Amino acid sequence: MTDVIHRTAAEIAAQVADGTVTATEVTEAHLARIEAVDEKVHAFLHVDREGALEQARAVDARRAAGEKLGPLAGVPLALKDIFTTEGVPTTCGSKILEGWIPPYDATVTRRLKEAGVVILGKTNMDEFAMGSSTETSAYGPTGNPWDLTRIPGGSGGGSAAAIASYQAPLAIGTDTGGSIRQPAAVTGTVGVKPTYGGVSRYGMIAFSSSLDQGGPCARTVLDAALLHEAIAGHDPLDSTSIDAPVPAVVEAARNGSVAGLRVGVVKEFRGEGYQAGVMARFDESVELLRELGAEVVEVSCPSFDKALAAYYLIAPSECSSNLARFDAMRYGLRVGDTGGRSAEEVTTLTRGAGFGDEVKRRIMLGTYALSSGYYDAYYGSAQKVRTLISRDFERAFGDVDVLISPTTPTTAFAIGERVDDPMAMYLADLCTIPTNLAGNAAMSLPCGLADEDGLPVGLQIIAPAMADERLYRVGAAVEAAFRARWGHPLLEEAPAL
Ligand code: GLN
């Protein structure tokens, strides 16, 4: 039974459907794996053992009753702790939500349950998804399964680490500036940021609402596509949700090909700060795409060098407003409510105790940037840069079908290395942020190990808005070619835990 944890989600679903294995057995195997390794990895903040087994038994009962099961029925999943789960703790990595039990499911949670996906538990993350290393979590860091002294990326480090350590075949992340793709890159897994509005934000705790996007994390491109299809689609409960058919991502993942495709290499994504081993693997990927029949050209996106600066005005501005709801009255923690203090004093004490340093830094930055007299200079200017970035993408996609770049400038850094240096931390998302600002779609998938440290490198593929299927078509072709070259999935090279 142990080997069930190494199977893909597609394989598990097929075996549950044909009766080779039960959903309960699959769930028990993954719970045993969590029991065995998560003390070291710390991917989960909460394991919902009973809830998971109950969901699994329900799938087995439906099968026994002769019901036709969906394409992910009986497959276990690790859910980022930013999504509300009815009756199951949801902290968003923050002390301020400690002890909060949501009274409702996020749309993503609900769709997963309806698909018969078994939710194993909630994964660790940077507090309110602010970070690139999972170190700002109020509950301690997560280790990278490739080297437990290194960061697993962030903010969705728990989700990426869970799948990279075979604690779950699937996970859900959210990507505001890179938090699905960057963890995927540094853990040797696949992560996709769908087109903005492609997956409902209802019940996904808001960080920066105009940038936040939930999406799939998996070990294969096909598994990511199956998960993407399960959670995507219009939701009347989210006013920014796209009311259009979901791109045909599963079909694309089953028909990987780049023949005749025009691929643009973003010229701006190289140079100082990019690790040699990352660029070597990226250049090999470019060669591979050529061999597979793509036409590769260089593309310039001159405004991308302002993306980070614009992001660090827009995201904090929106977060300063979104996080105002944590006022000690409605959710979670309340400090100093011992009588005699005003509501304002209790709110101040609670926010002071409940938020960590990075969250406070951003609330202050955002409040400042939005204050009258500074609005035009900061927030207004950042919005203009955002328009320039969208135009760069539009121009590029007038000429090419997809863009490619390294996902991150470096491989996984050491836990503690950048935690006191916010600027160094922010650079981890240099290549991922433009996509969030423009609202289009992108994927990270493994493209090898860096020579200098033997750690995974991610290849980023970027597609126009609503053309998410291109990511999967290209991703599946690249994945198949790399696997043929390596003889196995990259993750098999990770040391045993
Ligand atoms: N690292 C970026 C930040 O801290 C992006 C985080 C995210 O995508 N949630 O804002």
Which residue in 159, 165, 179, 303 is the catalytic one? 179
239 burial via Cβ count (<10 Å: 0-12, 13-18, 19+): exposed
| Cα 155 to ligand 1 centroid, rounded to whole Å | 6
205 lines ligand 1 (CB under 6 A): no
238 within domain boundaries? yes
Catalytic residue of the set 132, 133, 155, 405: 155
Determine contact, residues 158/34, Cβ cutoff 8 Å: no
**Contact 179 CB / ligand 1 (< 6 Å):** yes
Asked if 444 and 156 touch (Cβ cutoff 8 Å), the reply is no
Full domain range(s) for residue 247: 2-256+440-493
User: What is the pTM assigned to this prediction?
Assistant: 0.98
Q: What is the mean pLDDT of the chain?
A: 97
For residue 339, the model assigns a pLDDT of: 86
Whether ligand 1 lies within 6 angstroms of the CB of 155 is answered as: yes
Long-range contacts of the stretch 326-330 (C-beta < 8 A, 24+): 326/96, 326/97, 326/350, 326/351, 326/354, 326/355, 327/351, 328/354
Q: Is 130 in the pocket of ligand 1 (CB under 6 A)?
A: yes
Q: Is residue 271 part of a domain?
A: no
Is residue 160 one of the residues assigned to a domain? yes
Q: What 3-state class would DSSP assign to 461?
A: strand
Give per-residue pLDDT as tens, 129-159: 999 999 999 999 999 999 999 999 999 999 9
Q: What is the share, in percent, of the chain residues with pLDDT greater than 70?
A: 100
> For ligand 1, is residue 315 a contact (CB within 6 Å)?
yes
Q: Is 178 in the pocket of ligand 1 (CB under 6 A)?
A: yes
Counted domains in the chain: 1
Structure confidence at residue 375 (pLDDT): 87
C-alpha 210 to ligand 1 mean position (Å): 13
Q: Which of 134, 155, 317 to mutate to test the pocket of ligand 1 (most atoms within 8 A of CB)?
A: 155
Q: Is 398 exposed, middle or buried (0-12, 13-18, 19+ CB in 10 A)?
A: exposed
pLDDT, one tens digit per residue, over 394-415 is 999 999 999 999 999 999 999 9
Residue 312: CA atoms inside 13 Å, Cβ hemisphere, count? Answer: 15
For residue 128, report the distance from its CA to the centre of ligand 1, in Å.
9
Ligand 1 pocket, residue 133 CB under 6 Å: no
pLDDT over 90, % of the chain: 97
Angle ∠(34,38,39) on CA atoms, nearest 5: 130
pLDDT digits (tens, 9 = 90+) for 424-441: 999 999 999 999 999 999
Ligand 1 atom with the shortest distance to the CA of 315: 10
* pLDDT of residue 26 exceeding 50: yes
CA distance 256 to 488: 18
Does residue 325 fall inside a structural domain? Answer: no
How far is ligand 1, taken at its centre, from the CA of residue 313, in Å? 13
What pLDDT, in 10s, does the model give residues 338-388?
989 999 999 999 999 999 999 999 999 999 999 988 888 999 999 999 999
Find out whether the beta carbon of 436 lies less than 6 Å from any atom of ligand 1.
no
Protein residue with least CA distance to atom 5, ligand 1: 177
Side chain identity at 425, as an amino acid letter? M
Q: Ligand 1 mean position to 490 CA, how many Å?
A: 26
> Please, what's the b/e burial string for 327-361 (b: 16 or more CB within 10 A of its CB; e: otherwise)?
bbeebbbbbbeeeeeeeeebbbbbbeebbbebbee
Looking at residue 99, the DSSP 8-state letter turns out to be T
Establish whether residue 212 lines the binding site of ligand 1, counting it when its CB lies within 6 angstroms of any ligand atom: no
Mutate to test the pocket of ligand 1, among 136, 159, 176, 421 (most ligand atoms within 8 A of CB): 176
Least confident window among 47-51, 52-56, 365-369, 371-375? 371-375
Residue 354 lies inside a defined structural domain of this protein = no
CA 178 to ligand 1 center in whole angstroms: 6
**Where do the H-state alpha helices sit in 232-356?**
249-254, 276-291, 307-322, 343-354
Residue 137 placed within a domain: yes
- How far, in Å, is the centroid of ligand 1 from the Cα of 132? 6
For ligand 1, mutation pick of 126, 186, 318 (most atoms within 8 Å of CB): 126
Instruction: Kindly tell me if the per-residue pLDDT of 50 is higher than 50.
Output: yes
Cβ of 177 less than 6 Å from ligand 1: yes
Q: Which residues contact 204 (CB under 8 A, 6 or more apart)?
A: 82, 83, 84, 106, 108, 174, 212, 214
In a domain, 321, yes or no: no
- 250 pLDDT more than 90: yes
Q: Which token pair is 206?
A: 């808001």
Q: Which atom of ligand 1 is nearest to the CA of 358?
A: 4
Query: Could you confirm whether 155 is annotated as catalytic?
Result: yes
The Cα-based distances of 475 to 173, 179, 220 in angstroms read: 19, 19, 9
**Would you state the pLDDT for residue 1?**
46
Q: Is the pLDDT at 2 greater than 80, yes or no?
A: no
pLDDT at residue 242 greater than cutoff 90:
yes
From the CA of 432, how far away is ligand 1's center (Å)?
A: 10
Residues with Cβ within 8 Å of 496's Cβ and at least 6 positions away in sequence, in order, are none
80 is catalytic: yes
Q: What is the token pair recorded at 77?
A: 């999943």
pLDDT in tens, 185-223: 999 999 999 999 999 999 999 999 999 999 999 999 999
Quick check: is 138 in a domain? yes
Is the CB of residue 318 below 6 angstroms from any atom belonging to ligand 1? no
- State the CATH number of the domain containing residue 33: 3.90.1300.10
